[in-house]
Amino acid sequence: MSEYRILAINPGSTSTKFAVYFDEECKLNKTLRHSITELSRYNNVIQQFDFRKGLIIEALMEEGFEVDSLKYIIGRGGLTYPLESGVYLVDNLMLKHASEGVYGQHASNLGPLMADYIANQIPGAKAFIADPVVVDEIDDIARITGHPRFEKRSIFHALNQKATARLHARKNGTKYEKLNLVVAHLGGGISVGAHKKGRVVDVNNGLDGDGPFSPERSGGLPIGQMIDFCFDSHLSKEEIRRMVLGEGGYVAYLGTNDAKEVEKMAGEGNERAQLIQDALAYQVAKSIGEMSVVLDGNVDAILLTGGLAYSKYLTEYIQKKVGFIAPVVVYPGEDELQALARNALRVARHETEAKKYSPKMPNL
């Protein structure tokens, strides 16, 4: 039986993570940290392409890997136009949309670009993405916002939510497509999705829209106050976006995006930190309740995942609030590199077929 060699790439805001897998076995897992000084040389994320892909190739060579042996190169999918869940071959249209940031600028937009570049250097290699952040399976009724000028966008932690849901199904001897689950990804951003028999039929916009606040994002804000602020503050569009996207949540209230630091502050008697930490868990629990209604109360399990799920305090707070709905199971962390590699392996073994990038164009 042949051995499939896979390179998985996950670009983040201040790091580039990559891993080499031989079938299911991880042979190398590396995180390349990027300082603010290094990244400040570039005006936008896409301009970081040469810098980041060069570091990956250099690190692979330093570790002694034969780059030419890596035939499946899979990157994290970025903010292209909406797609259904699955594994996708990288093509020119996807590269164009990722480069333009048609749904926004984010480091994940570099995923398909770097996968494509490296695959093109290797004879016989192919480039893929899987379950990008713009996976869109939500029901039409969930798209209605209250005004026809606005339509709900599906932007969430699709890769980790889907991988966690599939892991839970395997551990329980069943298939993801047979379960109703509420999955909460708790990280720098927070998204809570209603998974109905293999489809995420409703989810909050975990990037810059609605839902709970997080360590860095404001989540849903009182719209009347927000309208007044936008017109009265004299801040630019970019400054207001940064206020809610990178400088909201814990950062705005407590001056840090470090959840461990906030928990430590609360444990040492800081009442403000205690209140804000509890409010985050409270809002997550409310969102879980909302998604259980989407599933008509027919919920097989509630899954908590992401970096914040390592906090026993937060997960127990949430469990006390929502445990009456369904069993709560905690899968801390987010091994997105493993999830990417598993998806590439499914294609290599012909367990699934890579799809063509045929995005759902937005209503303009």
How far apart CA 319 and CA 361 sit, in angstroms, is 38
74 & 201 share domain = no
Task: Categorize the per-residue pLDDT at 362 as very low, low, confident or very high, splitting at 50, 70 and 90.
Answer: low
What confidence tens digit (pLDDT) does each residue in 119-158 have?
Answer: 999 999 999 999 999 999 999 999 999 999 999 989 999 9
Encoded amino acid at 289, one letter:
G
322 & 341 share domain = no
298 & 344 share domain = no
Q: Is residue 102 part of a domain?
A: yes
Domain limits at 12?
A: 5-137+337-348
Res. 295: pLDDT tops 90: yes
341 & 313 share domain = no
pLDDT of residue 335: 82
Q: Give the residue-averaged pLDDT of 169-190.
A: 96
pLDDT of residue 2: 65
59 & 190 share domain = no
Residue 187: CATH number of its domain: 3.30.420.40
Res. 276: pLDDT tops 90: yes
How far apart CA 344 and CA 208 sit, in angstroms, is 29
89 & 187 share domain = no
245 & 182 share domain = yes
Q: Is residue 353 part of a domain?
A: no
210 & 133 share domain = no
pLDDT of residue 334: 80
Q: Provide the β-strand partners of residue 74.
A: 8, 128
Helix/strand/coil (H/E/C) assignment for every residue in 179-230:
CEEEEEEECCCEEEEEEECCEEEEECCCCCCCCCCCCCCCCCCCHHHHHHHH
- Helix or strand (DSSP H, E) at 63: none
Q: Is residue 358 part of a domain?
A: no
175 & 133 share domain = no
Task: Categorize the per-residue pLDDT at 246 as very low, low, confident or very high, splitting at 50, 70 and 90.
Answer: confident
Q: Is residue 165 part of a domain?
A: yes
How far apart CA 15 and CA 334 sit, in angstroms, is 15
Could you tell me the pTM of the whole model?
A: 0.89
Task: Give backbone dihedrals phi and psi of 82, rounded to 5 degrees, phi first.
Answer: -60, 145
pLDDT of residue 40: 82
How far apart CA 74 and CA 225 sit, in angstroms, is 43
Res. 36: pLDDT tops 90: no
What confidence tens digit (pLDDT) does each residue in 313-329 have?
Answer: 999 999 999 999 999 99
Counting the structural domains of the chain, the total is 2
Percent share of the chain, pLDDT over 70: 98
